[in-house]
Structure 1
Amino acid sequence: DEAHVGERVAVLGAGGIGFDVAEFLTDGGDKASEDPETYFRLWGVDMDYTGPGGLAAPERPAPPRTVHLLQRKTSKVGAGLGKTTGWIHRAELKHRGVTMVPGVRYDRIDDAGLHVTVGDESTVLEVDTIVLCTGQEPRRDLYEALIAAGRSAHLIGGADVAAELDAKRAIKQGTELAASL
């Protein structure tokens, strides 16, 4: 919305939401996902076939800000993304210069920035904005109000289990619930 985001950002949490936020924050406004010509230019696809194999030098404009995508897990950053699409998200962020760091311990925040430890090495990331994508809590207010009012209600998706929001699980739950009704 209208939140001010500085030029140096740390995104804490590298799940799907963290990746989406990092992509949003490094988007130069070219809307490549909506315009095939722009997409081909950014990825070096020569639709006129003037170069060998239909390839051209990719045009990569400088992103509007520097972003660090951090996670506490020691596994590969983005390992939980979709098997068929995760690679493209990682590649796009790499093209945009996003540093992706696993195994981070968040120590503190002060005027110098975000103090972190990775392995045995402590460092300060000089950032002016920190975005938390570090988990969710289920919101069951409406469910509880409906039950208290004697209405029938069902919990599915993030209201059921908010940890690592899982669209595939939520869709499965919704489909199974609809079929049972």
Structure 2
Amino acid sequence: MSTRDGRAPGGSRRRRRRRLLAALVTPLLFLSAGCVVVEDRDDTGETRTSPGVVREVPLRVVEQGGRTLAFVPVSFEDRGPYMFALDTGASTSVVDEDVADRIGLERTGERRTVSGILGTGEVPVARVDHWEVGELPLPAGEVTVIDLGPPRGGGGIEGLLGSDVLSDFGSITVDYDDGVLRIPPP
């Protein structure tokens, strides 16, 4: 049995219930989207991560045109987050030129040769003192600055988190099904 518009009776009520459920669940998802870390404060007020706790960073998995990309939120000096693709094949982490300019990353004056599927070129290097993936601090270091091109489809790659940073953790787990990057305890 269907109504004049071809919908089953009660369909309107089910849609209202789904919208109400989505309105209730969506804020909970945003609240839980941060990095999950068990922390405590020592006598000096410094925050410390509990030993032996796996740290989790939210992962956005995008499937487009037969490709699967995994993105993590990366912030610089409390600015961001910017969506960086996990790229274990990249020997150095990369920040898009527009992002580097917006956050004021200073170039060191050094240039490095980088190679990719589009060719080889010399690119500037910038120093990063304070940055984090999710809420997990990353070691200070250097990134290459490259024009990664215009955003496509409402968002683009704002950087690459490469093996120069990821290898510092020893091992990581990319859980595509649950949308989580798991990083072992220090």
Asked if these proteins are the same fold (TM beyond 0.5), I'd say: no
The answer to which structure has the higher strand fraction is 2
What's the TM-score, normalizing by structure 2? 0.25
